[in-house]
Every structure is written in structure tokens, then in C-alpha cells.
Chains A and B, each alone.
Chain A
Amino acid sequence: MKVLGNVHLSAKGALSLLSAPIILAACSSSSASTASPPSNQPVTITLSGWTSSPVEAQLLTKDLAGFSKKYPYIHVNYRPISGSGSNYESVLRTRFVAGDAPDVIYVNNGGESSTFMANNDLIPLNSYIKSTNFSIKDFYSSSLSLFEKGGKIYGIPKDQSPLALFYNTAMFAKAGITHPPTTWAQLAADAKLLTNPSQHVYGLINSVQEPRWAEFLYQAGGGVMNSSMTKFTLTSPASVKGYTYFVDLYKNGYATVPTTVGATWGGQAFGMGKAAMVLSGNWLIPFLNQTYPSIHFNTAVLPSGPANNLSLTFPVAYGITKDSKHPNAAWKLVSYLTSQSGMTRWMKLGLALPTRQSLVSLPYYKQHPVTQGLLSQLPHSIAWTFPPGFVQFSSTTMVDQTTLAIENKETPKQALINMQNGGQAILSSNNG
């Protein structure tokens, strides 16, 4: 679609690990009103986000209790939007059309956020950052740049999590495996050893969504798109190599999709004790602790492929919508949640990893060694993102092609060619 074209900036920093420094000086032209209402006049603002699991809503509610103590005149209505897949953004879209979007929303990096930024549905935060001396230097530029476009900052990254390898320590011990796999060859060998189809136990269980296999492309030295996101690189020899390795794990029977064991997602299969390993993010830890407390597990960095052991990371930001009637109060909430102390509090609830570099050395992580694999993965990860207009492509086309490949209905190479052609077609129609 024509209207969605010309917006690549949000994605620009994502794939280049060496993002440009953020230039504050360029931001002063922002016109957002900073004329504050008489303070202490009671206002109500709404906060909406998706929930990675019911645990997230509980933890955030807990954190918000502290905010209402500090700012008794700002009442925060927390209204999580439930549902799977792109449901969150579908709901937000309708709220934007109605001119009734929540004041503060979660902004993600892979879906339609870039569209929301492109259409000015989010307000630039530069003037608020400036007027309240909110320091953004501490944020990983790879996270912050996802929510930045043309010098304007549309979201303050609240947390992130890379995908790391979760492994069932009891199953590993039983199979006589002393340490998690560190190479592709070990991953395949361990997965084979741990698989027992008659017990419905598999070495690795993950769905075949793009973020669960793209890392293998990077690890082989390939990738999904070039760094400026103007071209797909799915059919490069390195990409084909990484993808074929992933598909072969499934074709050989050491890996399978969650529905094979009656689960809806990989983390659930892992909790049920049906998967010895799963690629997942920090959000799995509180889920397992609450839902499957008897599972013994640990995390490790992803095994290395021929090139590296890169993973994907998923930064999420807080943004303020154009429909907000109380942007100043909304900013108070955003800055409360993402400040040094706010993020420290949030990190201690154990759902995700920080987007502030200074918090990586939090004592919390020493006390919770299970997060070590995720923390060690963080420097070796790429923020997951797509240009605007790719939701259908990434959520269905890429899943379908990979399903066909693991079911041996087409070769990995053919699946990649089909995705490459489909992706290029969208790119050219976006620019046309």
C-alpha cells in the first residue's frame, strides 16, 4: 500500500548493532504542549498493553500501586488487552479510529508500531524528555532507535528479552548430558538423545514462527533482510544453510511443534515436561514458576552456528497516544515506570531484562542465576523488527512456508524462495 511506504527509519537501527547516537538537539522543534494543567487536580489516565501471560498483568498491577502512592491525584486505569497474535494491535487500531485510544500503550517493535508512528498516532516525547530532564543516555541505542523516527522519540523502552535456550536440568541429568549444547552439532546430538516419541518427549519444541528460526539464519552468517531493510536476503547461501539446519531438526524428529504434544506454545510444552529444550524469553520464567513449579530448568546462550550465536531480542516501549487528554500525567507515568528506579523495580519482578545498560549488573541477577543465560545472550542479539505492512507476511506466509518445509512438502530452499518472492513483492508495492 502506498500510504505505508517511505517509513524505514524505525527499523533502521534494529539490524545494525552499531546504531547512530541519539541527537537530542534535533528534537526541540516538537510542538507537543507542555502547558501543564494545574497540578494536583485529579485526572484519570488509561494504560493498555498485551500480557505475555496472566502473570504480567499481576506484576504490573503491583508496580502501579506504587505510582498511585506517589501521585495520588493521578488515577491509572490499567486495561490489558488480551488475545493472541496480532489481536492487541487490531484492538488498538479500532480504538484509534474511534479517537479513544488509551493514554499510555505498550509499543512493540515487530508489528504495527511503525505504522502507528508513521501516522502520528503516537506523540513525540522529546519535549517531555527535555522539560523533565529525563536522561535517555543509559538506554541501549539498539532498543531506543526502534522507537525513534526522524529525530523524534515515540516510545521509552521499558524492557526487553532476547530468546535464549531453556533446558530441563532433570532431563539433561537423566540423559547424562553435563552441560547445555554450545554448537549446532551438539544441539542436534543432544536433541536426538533427549527425544522419546513413545513418551511424547522431544528434544526441542517450538512453533515455526519466524522469530524462532530467524536466529539460525543469523548464526549461519545470513539474515532475513539487509541492514537498511530494503531487501530480503532469505535466499543467500548462508541463510539457506541456517534455515536448512532448523528444518532438519524437525524433519529428523528431534524437534516438533507444540500441538504435537497437545500444547499451545513452546513454553507450555516445556512446562508440561514434554520438551527438553525450548527457545524462549525471560517471560517464560515467571510463567513456569507459577504454572509449573515442579519443573527444574536453567537458561543458556544459544548454541553457535558457523558464524556466531546471535539471537533475537524483543524491546517493548511505553508510548503516549495522540488521543491522550492528559499527556503530562501520562508522561509522569511513563517516566515513573522507565526511570532508573522504576525499571529497577520492574526488573526485580522478574519478567524481562532491562533496556538500561546500567541495570544489567543489578544484584537481583546474582540472586537469580537462572537469568544468566538470558543476560549473557543480550549482547549477542538483534532487535526483531519488520518494516510497516508486514504483519500478514510474518504471521502467516512465513509460518505456512516453514510448516510445509518441516512436513517435507517442499524443500527448505523452495520455502525460502517463496518467502523471498512474497517479501520482495510487498516491499516493491510499499515503495510504488
Chain B
Amino acid sequence: MTLPAVLVLFLFTLGPALYAFFLSLFSWSLLNKMHYVGLSNFAFIFASHLFWTAVWNTASFAFIVVPTQTLVALFIAVLLNQNLPARGFLRLAFFFPAVSSSAVISIIFMWIYNKFGILNGLLAVVGIHGPNWLANPLFALKSIMIMNIWTTSGYFMVVFLSGLQAIPQNIYDAAEMDGANSWQRFSRITVPLLKPTTFFVVIMGVIGTLQMFDQSFILSGGTGGPLHSTTTLVLLIYQYIFSYGKVGYGAAVTVILFAFTMIATLIVNRWLGKSIEY
């Protein structure tokens, strides 16, 4: 029974992954014959300024986006777990970005972030002269962070909501009887009992942000600009392989990204992955 699943897994997931390891040792332009070059692709990548820029961009993206989106998602989830009017509508409104295509969202945000777009129009109302968000290297990646947080928070909110609803009400009732105020109930009951959910949210967040590609690609027109400020590791992989025909370099970065992702996942696992005790 498991054979088809294993076959599919090997064909579409494990196979290509192993092939990336293989390719990282070769020089190939997709069009010519590949030849073995040992570890020289890695030597090139580690000496490449552009690679370290991409590492910095990807890491700072993950460090800012993951905690922010987790906190925002938790906050909205707790809020929408109350008996609010129009609760269903609000849940839908927050979840909506998660079911939209990120390409479409990116294009909408190109207009929002335009020098004369809605965002700067709103800022002008309160007397702030807004920057040229996507054309300014200082703001381009931050703009994408804001967009990403907006997009993914809704999805993780739903995950948190389901986690919240799995917490038995009687624990809260008992705590209330013992005189715990609402902050204590939140920090001593909700947060610890949500740990498995938080673990899932953080792991998915870390993996998702380390793999960020589409938003950078669309908002920078595929260049990772201005001045490489939005070049992420996956965008760099794409450029090396498909734009510049340097498959070996791209595959080497892929292998390095695999290592980074694994290390980050192990760290999160150590921190949040322990089973919880009531």
C-alpha cells in the first residue's frame, strides 16, 4: 500500500533533492555537457559577496518575520476566540490573504508601495513624506516583510484558533475560581498549553521564510534589487540556474540552504519541541 506513496515521494521530492546534491559538484549550463568540478562551486559561493548578502537578507527576513507573525497571529486568534460581533466575518477577513495567490498579492502591493501609491497617500494625510518603498534599498526588504507578515498571519491565526479551542474550558474556570486574572490565565494556561501549536507555527514560519522567493521575485522584477537588497537565497538559486546558466553554483547554494534550514529546525525543535506536561 505504501509503495505508490514512496514512489511519488522519491520521484518528486527525494529524487530531485538528491540530484541537487549531485549537481552541486558539477559545472553545467543546462545546455552543454556537465563536467565534474569537485567542491569548487562551494569555494566560489563562499567567496562570493552576493551569497553573503543573500544569507544576510534571508536571515534578517526570518528573524523579523517569524516572531512578528507568530505574535500577531496569536493576538488575533485570542481576540477572535472571544464572543465578538461579526466574529465570522473578521476571521474570514484575516484568513483571506492566506487563500490568495502570493503573486497576486505581490502585484497589489506593488501599487500600494508605489511612490504615489495608497500607502504614501495615507502617510501624506498625517504629514509624513513616505519613501520610495521598493526602489530604496533601505526599505525594499522591509516592505516585503510587512507584506509577508500580513499574508501569513491570517493562516497561522487559524492554526492558533484551533489550538485555543482544544484547551479545555474547565482549566480556565478552575483558575478563575482560584482568583487568576485574565493576564495570568493567558500567560500561565493559554501560552503553555498552546506549545504544540506554537511549535508548528514557528517551524512552518522558519521554513517558509528561509524559502522566500516569489515575493522578492515579483516586487523586484526578478532582479533582487535595488542593489541586491531583496536577493534571498532561493532567488539567488533561481538566478544562478535559470537566468545565468550556472547550475553548479545554484545547486551549491541549495545544499547550503538545506543545511541552514536543518540547523534552524533543530534549534526550534530543541526549544519548543518537548512534549508538554499539564
Contacts and interface: CB of A to CB of B under 8 A. Distances in A.
B273 interface: no
B22 to A, nearest CB: 16
Contacts of A97: 30-31
Interface in B102-118: 114-117
B27 A2 contact: yes
The secondary structure that dominates the A interface is: helix
Interface residue tally on A, bucketed by range = 35 or more
A26 B2 CA distance: 62
B227 A90 contact: no
Interface of B: 27, 29-33, 35, 114-117, 132, 134-135, 221-228, 239, 242-246
B242 A392 contact: no
B242 A94 contact: yes
B31 A93 contact: yes
Given A86-B243, A93-B31, A392-B243, A259 B228 contact: no
A96 B30 contact: yes
Nearest to A390: B244
Interface string A386-404: 0001011001100110011
Given A200-B116, A262-B114, A391-B244, 4 more contacts: A90-B242, A97-B31, A119-B32, A396-B225
Given A112-B245, A260-B132, A392-B244, A86 B222 contact: yes
Query: Which of B27, B30, B225, B244 has the most A CB atoms < 10 Å from its CB?
Result: B244
Nearest to B110: A264
30 contacts: A1-B27, A3-B27, A3-B35, A83-B222, A86-B243, A87-B222, A89-B243, A93-B30, A93-B242, A94-B30, A94-B242, A97-B30, A97-B31, A115-B31, A115-B245, A119-B29, A119-B32, A257-B135, A259-B132, A259-B134, A260-B132, A261-B116, A262-B114, A264-B221, A389-B245, A392-B244, A395-B223, A399-B223, A400-B225, A403-B227
Contacts of B35: 3
A391 B114 CA distance: 28
Contacts of A261: 115-116
Contact of B245 (A93, A257, A400, A404): A93
A94 B117 CA distance: 36
A342 B226 CA distance: 42
